[in-house]
Amino acid sequence: MLILCSSSSTRAKLLKKFKINFIQKSCPFDEDNVKTDDPYEFVTLVSYGKFKECMKCFKNEDIIAADTVVSDGSQILRKAKDKEDAKRILLAQSGKEIKIITAMWVRFKGRIYGRVDETIYKFDKFDEKDLEDYLDSGEWEGKAGACMVEGFCKKYIKEVKGYESTAMGLCVEELLKIIGGEYVNQ
């Protein structure tokens, strides 16, 4: 069985959408100890840290670990700490181009694969009332950059380059290239 080493419900939904059989378990890793301002380095170090911990927990199983960040070009927009932080993070994306960067590590049949993917979005300016409703909904909680390209942000997308799955936390299209038909329901 493929083990998704993540507590993310969005990553689990992606695997289900692509009909990949998996179980979801995670191992502790403190990503707050990773100190870098480079979003690519950050997401790579955090995802690899999670992956190393999961390799200790699950010695022989096939596993996948991932992490995602949002960057507005000048800063890493991580998960919001509270509603006010979510508003600040979302306003940094409103009317701008952002990169959503996901790194994943996979151990499949004893081999290790790592990759970093990005999806670039150009957003229209967010409507103030719509933004307040989204903040009140709490749907932003636990999301990198408080961003939901499959939800709130979808109607503001002007341009996109890359896979939506990458922006949702796991580039499933690339994962399928690694695992082939293994673990996939037909």
pLDDT tens-digit profile of 54-99? Answer: 999 999 999 999 999 999 988 999 899 999 999 999 999 999 999 9
Report the C-alpha gap between 146 and 84 in whole angstroms. 11
If pLDDT is split at 50, 70 and 90, which confidence band does 40 have? Answer: very high
Q: What number does CATH give the domain 2-179?
A: 3.90.950.10
* Residue pLDDT, tens place only, 152-170: 999 999 999 999 999 999 9
pLDDT digits (tens, 9 = 90+) for 103-120: 999 999 999 999 999 999
DSSP state of 125: P
- Please choose, from the candidates 29, 25, 94, the residue with its C-alpha nearest in 3D space to the C-alpha of residue 63: 25
Distances (CA, A) of 137 to 85, 117, 141: 15, 29, 9
CA 43 – CA 65 distance, rounded (Å): 11
Max distance between CA atoms of the chain, in angstroms, equals: 51
Q: Which two tokens stand for residue 113?
A: 């694969």
State both tokens at 13: 């939904």
Tell me if residue 127 is catalytic: no
Alpha carbons 54 and 99: distance in angstroms, whole number: 27
Confidence tier at 32 by pLDDT (50, 70, 90): confident
Cα 50 to its chain centre, rounded Å, is 13
* C-alpha pair distances (Å), 56 with each of 12, 50, 65, 116, 175: 22, 10, 13, 22, 22
* Triad 76, 72, 140: Cα angle to 5°: 70
pTM value > 0.75: yes
Active-site option among 30, 32, 37, 67: 67
